[in-house]
Protein backbone atom coordinates (compact mmCIF):
# COMPACT_ATOMS: atom_id res chain seq x y z
CA UNK A 1 0.00 0.00 0.00
CA UNK A 2 1.23 3.46 -0.86
CA UNK A 3 1.03 6.40 1.53
CA UNK A 4 0.91 9.96 0.22
CA UNK A 5 2.13 12.55 2.72
CA UNK A 6 0.85 16.12 2.43
CA UNK A 7 1.70 19.39 4.15
CA UNK A 8 -1.30 21.70 3.85
CA UNK A 9 -2.48 20.99 0.28
CA UNK A 10 0.89 20.00 -1.25
CA UNK A 11 2.17 16.45 -1.65
CA UNK A 12 5.65 16.16 -0.16
CA UNK A 13 6.42 12.44 -0.33
CA UNK A 14 5.23 9.01 -1.45
CA UNK A 15 6.19 5.93 0.57
CA UNK A 16 5.22 2.31 1.06
CA UNK A 17 6.67 2.32 4.59
CA UNK A 18 3.92 2.12 7.23
CA UNK A 19 6.20 3.36 10.02
CA UNK A 20 7.17 6.43 7.98
CA UNK A 21 3.48 7.18 7.42
CA UNK A 22 2.79 6.88 11.15
CA UNK A 23 5.71 9.20 11.95
CA UNK A 24 4.37 11.75 9.46
CA UNK A 25 0.87 11.53 10.94
CA UNK A 26 2.28 11.98 14.46
CA UNK A 27 4.08 15.11 13.22
CA UNK A 28 0.72 16.56 12.15
CA UNK A 29 1.03 15.89 8.42
CA UNK A 30 -1.87 14.53 6.38
CA UNK A 31 -1.38 10.95 5.23
CA UNK A 32 -3.61 9.66 2.43
CA UNK A 33 -3.92 6.00 1.45
CA UNK A 34 -6.45 3.83 -0.36
CA UNK A 35 -8.88 4.00 2.58
CA UNK A 36 -9.17 7.78 2.12
CA UNK A 37 -10.09 7.75 -1.58
CA UNK A 38 -13.84 7.92 -2.17
CA UNK A 39 -13.94 8.54 -5.94
CA UNK A 40 -11.87 7.78 -9.01
CA UNK A 41 -11.41 11.54 -9.36
CA UNK A 42 -9.78 11.65 -5.89
CA UNK A 43 -7.45 8.82 -6.92
CA UNK A 44 -6.63 10.61 -10.20
CA UNK A 45 -5.75 13.81 -8.32
CA UNK A 46 -3.41 11.93 -5.96
CA UNK A 47 -1.85 10.02 -8.89
CA UNK A 48 -1.21 13.27 -10.79
CA UNK A 49 0.36 14.91 -7.73
CA UNK A 50 2.57 11.86 -7.09
CA UNK A 51 3.67 11.80 -10.73
CA UNK A 52 4.51 15.51 -10.66
CA UNK A 53 6.51 15.08 -7.45
CA UNK A 54 8.47 11.95 -8.37
CA UNK A 55 8.55 11.97 -12.17
CA UNK A 56 7.21 8.40 -12.22
CA UNK A 57 3.87 7.20 -13.55
CA UNK A 58 1.11 6.55 -11.02
CA UNK A 59 -2.27 5.12 -11.99
CA UNK A 60 -5.65 5.71 -10.39
CA UNK A 61 -7.39 2.37 -9.86
CA UNK A 62 -11.08 1.47 -9.73
CA UNK A 63 -11.55 -2.06 -8.42
CA UNK A 64 -15.26 -2.07 -9.25
CA UNK A 65 -18.44 -1.79 -7.22
CA UNK A 66 -17.95 -5.17 -5.53
CA UNK A 67 -14.52 -4.32 -4.11
CA UNK A 68 -13.73 -2.49 -0.88
CA UNK A 69 -11.80 -0.27 -0.72
CA UNK A 70 -12.77 0.44 -4.31
CA UNK A 71 -10.22 3.12 -5.29
CA UNK A 72 -6.44 3.12 -5.05
CA UNK A 73 -3.30 4.59 -6.61
CA UNK A 74 -0.44 2.36 -7.77
CA UNK A 75 2.97 2.92 -9.31
CA UNK A 76 2.88 1.75 -12.92
CA UNK A 77 5.41 -0.82 -14.10
CA UNK A 78 8.48 0.70 -15.77
CA UNK A 79 11.01 -0.72 -18.22
CA UNK A 80 13.85 -2.21 -16.19
CA UNK A 81 11.72 -3.10 -13.12
CA UNK A 82 12.45 -6.51 -11.63
CA UNK A 83 9.23 -8.54 -11.66
CA UNK A 84 7.80 -11.92 -10.76
CA UNK A 85 4.61 -13.78 -11.52
CA UNK A 86 2.34 -15.21 -8.83
CA UNK A 87 -0.72 -17.35 -8.26
CA UNK A 88 -2.25 -18.72 -5.07
CA UNK A 89 0.76 -17.94 -2.89
CA UNK A 90 3.39 -19.22 -5.32
CA UNK A 91 5.86 -16.62 -6.67
CA UNK A 92 8.44 -17.07 -9.41
CA UNK A 93 11.00 -14.49 -10.64
CA UNK A 94 10.32 -13.40 -14.21
CA UNK A 95 13.27 -11.20 -15.18
CA UNK A 96 12.80 -7.52 -15.87
CA UNK A 97 10.26 -5.48 -17.79
CA UNK A 98 11.56 -4.96 -21.33
CA UNK A 99 8.56 -3.35 -23.02
CA UNK A 100 5.30 -1.64 -22.10
CA UNK A 101 2.64 -0.65 -24.60
CA UNK A 102 1.77 3.08 -24.77
CA UNK A 103 -1.66 2.33 -23.25
CA UNK A 104 -0.07 0.29 -20.40
CA UNK A 105 -2.24 -2.64 -21.47
CA UNK A 106 0.63 -5.01 -22.34
CA UNK A 107 3.82 -5.64 -20.34
CA UNK A 108 6.58 -7.89 -21.70
CA UNK A 109 9.42 -9.30 -19.59
CA UNK A 110 12.96 -10.40 -20.42
CA UNK A 111 11.89 -14.04 -20.12
CA UNK A 112 9.34 -13.53 -22.90
CA UNK A 113 6.29 -13.72 -20.64
CA UNK A 114 3.57 -11.25 -21.62
CA UNK A 115 1.06 -9.77 -19.17
CA UNK A 116 -2.16 -7.96 -20.09
CA UNK A 117 -4.02 -5.46 -17.96
CA UNK A 118 -7.29 -7.08 -16.91
CA UNK A 119 -9.52 -3.98 -17.33
CA UNK A 120 -8.96 -0.38 -18.34
CA UNK A 121 -8.80 0.95 -14.76
CA UNK A 122 -7.63 -2.20 -13.00
CA UNK A 123 -4.38 -2.49 -11.09
CA UNK A 124 -3.64 -6.02 -12.26
CA UNK A 125 -1.78 -7.50 -15.20
CA UNK A 126 -2.28 -11.21 -15.93
CA UNK A 127 -0.46 -13.80 -18.01
CA UNK A 128 -2.25 -16.85 -19.39
CA UNK A 129 -5.42 -15.83 -17.55
CA UNK A 130 -4.17 -16.53 -14.03
CA UNK A 131 -0.56 -15.51 -13.32
CA UNK A 132 -0.33 -12.00 -11.81
CA UNK A 133 2.53 -9.58 -12.37
CA UNK A 134 4.16 -8.48 -9.09
CA UNK A 135 6.99 -6.03 -8.39
CA UNK A 136 10.38 -7.39 -7.37
CA UNK A 137 12.07 -10.75 -7.67
CA UNK A 138 10.18 -13.08 -5.34
CA UNK A 139 10.80 -16.82 -5.13
CA UNK A 140 8.36 -18.32 -2.64
CA UNK A 141 5.99 -21.27 -2.55
CA UNK A 142 2.75 -21.32 -0.58
CA UNK A 143 3.49 -23.20 2.65
CA UNK A 144 -0.14 -24.36 2.87
CA UNK A 145 0.40 -27.13 0.31
For residue 140, is it within any domain? no
Number of domains in the chain: 2
d(CA 50, CA 56): 8
Alpha carbons 75 and 53: distance in angstroms, whole number? 13
Residues 30 and 93 in one domain: no
User: Is 131 inside any structural domain?
Assistant: yes
Would you state the pLDDT for residue 118?
87
103 and 41 in a common domain: no
Structure confidence at residue 61 (pLDDT): 95
- Structural domain containing residue 99: 82-135
Examine residue 57 and state whether it is found in any structural domain, yes or no: yes
Give the model's pLDDT for residue 145.
66
Q: Which residues of the chain have pLDDT under 50?
A: none
Which residues 6+ apart lie within 8 Å of 117 measured at CB? 104, 105, 106, 107, 124, 125
Q: What is the model's pLDDT at position 144?
A: 77
The whole-number pLDDT of residue 57 equals 95
Q: Whole-angstrom Cα distance, residue 17 to residue 139?
A: 22
Amino acid sequence: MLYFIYTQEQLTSVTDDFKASQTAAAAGLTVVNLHDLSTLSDAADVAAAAGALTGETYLPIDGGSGVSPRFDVIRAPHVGDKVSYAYNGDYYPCGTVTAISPTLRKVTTSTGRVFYRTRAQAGAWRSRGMWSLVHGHVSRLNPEF
